[in-house]
Every structure is written in structure tokens, then in C-alpha cells.
Amino acid sequence: MPEPAVPPTPPVPLSALLAREDLGLRQIAGPRGADTVIHWAHTSEMTDPYPYLLGGELLLTAGVHIPQAAGQGTYFDDYVTRIVAAGGAALGFGLAPVHDTVPGALVTACETYGLPLLEVPPRTTFSGVARAVWQLMAQARLAELRRVTEAQQSLAAAAARPDPVRAVLRQLARRVGGRAVLYGPEGAVVGQAGREPDAGVREGLAGLAGVVTSRSSATATDTTASGTHLAAYALGAGRGFVLGVAAPRRDTGDHTIASVAAVLLSLLTGEQQSGSGAARSAALVRLLLGAEPETVAPLLGVGRLLVVHARPDTAPCDPVAASALGAALGSPLVDLAPDVVRVLVPTDREPAAQPGWTLGVSAPAEPREWPAADTQAARALSRARATRAPLIRHGAHRPALTDLLSPDDARAHARSLLAPLTAPLTETLRTWLSLHGSWDRTAVALSVHRNTVRQRIARCAALLDTDLDDPDVRMELWFALRHTER
């Protein structure tokens, strides 16, 4: 069976749900322990719920679907095996209003096939159980955010200590409860901290570090036969340093914590390459003194690049988030501006969509083409935001006349042209033009009288001092309206 598609929220231990005294749930069959977790709650009275399950559910049923002669056949065995095959986490059986007790054959089937079975008392509604699941998820999410925030602060403090690399490794190992190892460009162990792993974990972690240095992916994960979770993070593009993490379990937030540590270690190890710090300083000086990009690129260790413009989908971006984005894209060359993050990515690392970000990617560019690539990435980002796409690459759409003008220039022109109009007049003009000048259809769309539409359009023509019957005028106005906020 494929892995269940679980949501990006922390799961709820079944034991936490059973501990809620207000629900009164009681487990009467199936395995007991902390390993069972719930990702969501779902109610179904279908004879075969398999097609409607995604995996990880607490399936709630009142037994409406159970036929009278179900106890004499294989009905309950078939029912339970289908839930297990779909990845269902547990089954909750309501004692009202159809059944006074849980059918014994259902208890036996759940015990046989290892599906936790909960008895839901009559006073507890299924919606109440679902609400409790979401409440516990919210609490788990808050705890996860608090844990990640505290880890970020402790890692940043460790990076400011006299021996920052080892301090960060020690703090990371403590936060994940395992082992943190820094590998050098030749695969040698540069630093390590945390629990001493067995030989199998050491070999697996070293092998995983070799994987990320030999392919374009910046991260790789694996799990050993003993259940230890392994992860490797490339520190920068083509530098050879790798962070390896081994943990006895994979908790929510561990990847974020390790990514922050990888960013810090990438910055701390950036100067350890032979002459790299001096080379970058020399490159900066030469750029400030007017050198051409192609003469400076060798000092930076880069050549043909992709320019990526990124904007966060929600909160304003901070330096840690920007650096984490650079690490995810496989590049330490990150610029955090007030409204955008710019990343220079080697062409051998194809940028992928990143959760929580909207990206615009340029075409591959030689050093002399970097300014043009920067413009391409900005326009691609504008298209991505306008179409709500997570990532758009330059050249992935048919060129349009609007691409010849930057978004900022287009918005400035639109504001100037439409400045005389009030909001109702602007919206009326937008609707009227979109409906090809139809008075009746515009009136219906705006829920006003057709005479009101005529009056407003006449007012627009007077304020703009233009002829709205002229197709050139309509085209220019439509262009301007497309670049104004609704």
C-alpha cells in the first residue's frame, strides 16, 4: 500500500484522546501503546469505507451499515481489513442510537487485525470527538512551534560562542536527542557531538553524506534497520561540507531545527575553504570599484547561474528564514531585501517549489547576463503571485506585450491614468470593459440599473477626458485596470 497522505499538522497520540475525561472514550480492542497516532477524524456509515479514507483517520461509525445477520458471516472481517488496508488508525463505535453494545464479532475482528477499537458513549457526539482531535492538534502545533523557536534561539546563541561549530553541533544533538556530525569536503569527520551511535548508524550516516555530495539534491534521508532516522544536509553549493543527523525518532520540527543548524554551519564553514574568504572579499572590492561581473565570478567560485526571486506566503521574511531558503535551494548566495529574497543558484541544482514561498526563476545566465536574469526572475515572481502558482520559470509561458514593461512601471502608469476615478467608477469600468461594453450584462453583474451603468461610464469618460468608443483607448484602460488592486 502507498504511504497515507497525512496533513502537515502534528499527529495526536490515541492515548491523549483516551485521556480526555469529557469524551469518555474507552479502548476495547486492538493494540495499546504510544505508537498509535491520529491525523484526523472522519465519520462514515459506508459498508466499505476504503475509497473515502486517506490514511491516519479515526473512523467514527454508529453501525448503521451493519446488516442483521452480520455476526454469522465474514462481514466484520471484511469491514476491518478494508479499514486497515486504507491506513485507518483506529475505529470509534458509537453506542447510540442504533446499537446498545459494540458487536462482539467487531471486537474480535479488530483484535485479530490489530485495529484499535474505541467505544463511544451515548453522551459523546462524533462532532465532539472530531473537535477534540483538532484541539489536540492545535496544542501539538503550538508546542512544536515553541520547540522550534527555542531551538533556533539556542542554536543562534551557540553560533556566537568561541568554538561555534562544535557548540552548534552539541546544541543540535541535544535538541534532536541523537548524534550530529560535520563532514569535510573529503568525507572526513570535522566535528561531532551527542550519543555515540553503533557501527551501522555511523556507516549509514557517512554513506548518506556521500549521497548529497554526489548528486544535485541538497538533502537526503534514510532509516536504519534498527529504526534510527538519518538525515544529511549539504552546506552550500559545491563546497563539500555536509551535516549528518542521527536520531532515535523523527519528531515534528526536527527537519526545521536541523535546517537552521545547517544554515548556521554553512556560514561558519564558509571561510574554512582555502582562500575562499579572501577571494570573496576581493570580489566585493572589485565590484565596488566597477569591475565587470564576468571578471569577478571566478573569485566567487560561480559561473553560469539561475536567479531566484522569492516571497513568503504569509509573515514577513527574516534572515533565518531567508538563509534556510538558500540552504533548501542549495546556495549560500542569498540577499534579503525588504520585499523579496534573491538567491543565486548553480544551474546543476534545479530549483523546486518550497512550502510557504512563491518563487520566480530566471533562465540560466552567464555572469554578463546576471542583471537581465534578475529582471527575468522578478517578472516570473510577479506572474507566479498573480496566478497563485508556487513557482514559475522564465520562458515557461508565451511572451506577452506586458512582459516588455516592469510590474512597478505598469502599476505606476495605472495609478496615474486612473487617478481621477473613484472605486465604484473603477469597478464599473472594469466590469463594462470585460463584458465588451454590454450595458445589460454589466448591470446584472453589478446588481444595478442599466441607466446607472450608463451614467457611471459617461462619468468615467468625462473624468478621463477620453473617447471610450475608441478601441485603442479601451485597450490602454484595460491594461491599466489589470495592474490595479481590486
With bands split at pLDDT 50, 70 and 90, how would you rate the model's confidence at 258? confident
Grid cell for residue 342: 534573491
Nearest one of 395, 389, 390 to 377, comparing CA atoms:
395
Same domain, 388 and 434: no
21 Cβ partners below 8 Å, 6+ apart? none
Same domain, 357 and 248: no
Q: Rounded to 5 degrees, what angle do the CA atoms 278, 307, 293 make?
A: 45
As a whole number, mean pLDDT of residues 37-47 equals 92
Same domain, 202 and 254: yes
CB contact at 8 A, 232 and 258? no
Task: Give all strands of the β-sheet with 179-183 in edge-to-edge order.
Answer: 189-194, 179-183, 242-247, 229-234, 219-223
Is the peptide bond prior to 121 cis by the omega test (within 30 degrees of 0)? no
At residue 403, does pLDDT exceed 60?
A: no
Average pLDDT across the chain, whole number: 82
CATH code at 258?
A: 3.30.450.30
Q: Is 420 helix (H, G, I), strand (E, B) or coil?
A: coil
Same domain, 26 and 117: yes
Q: DSSP string covering 320-371, please?
A: HHHHHHHHHHT-S-EEE-SS-EEEEEETTS-----TTEEEEEPPPB-GGGHH
As a whole number, mean pLDDT of residues 208-237 equals 76
CATH code at 478?
A: 1.10.10.2840
Model pTM above 0.85: no
Sign of CA dihedral 203, 206, 208, 214: negative
For the chain, the domain total comes to 4
CATH code at 66?
A: 3.40.1390.20
Same domain, 392 and 412: no
Give the gyration radius of the chain's Cα atoms.
Answer: 30
Same domain, 392 and 411: no
Q: Say if 152 falls within a structural domain.
A: no
Each residue's pLDDT tens digit, 61-84: 999 999 887 777 899 999 999 999
Q: Which domain, by its residues, includes 185? A: 161-272
Each residue's pLDDT tens digit, 122-148: 999 999 999 999 999 888 888 888 888
Chain-centroid distance, C-alpha 418: 38
At residue 224, does pLDDT exceed 80?
A: no
As a whole number, mean pLDDT of residues 80-90 equals 93
With bands split at pLDDT 50, 70 and 90, how would you rate the model's confidence at 10? confident
Same domain, 36 and 120: yes
Same domain, 209 and 106: no
With bands split at pLDDT 50, 70 and 90, how would you rate the model's confidence at 278? low
Same domain, 197 and 123: no
Q: Say if 191 falls within a structural domain.
A: yes
Same domain, 310 and 376: yes
**Which contiguous run of DSSP H or E holds residue 429?**
helix 423-434
Same domain, 313 and 370: yes
With bands split at pLDDT 50, 70 and 90, how would you rate the model's confidence at 276? low
Distance CA 384, CA 380 (A): 6
> What is the per-residue pLDDT for 402?
58
Instruction: Please indicate whether residue 33 or residue 31 has the higher confidence score (pLDDT).
Output: 31
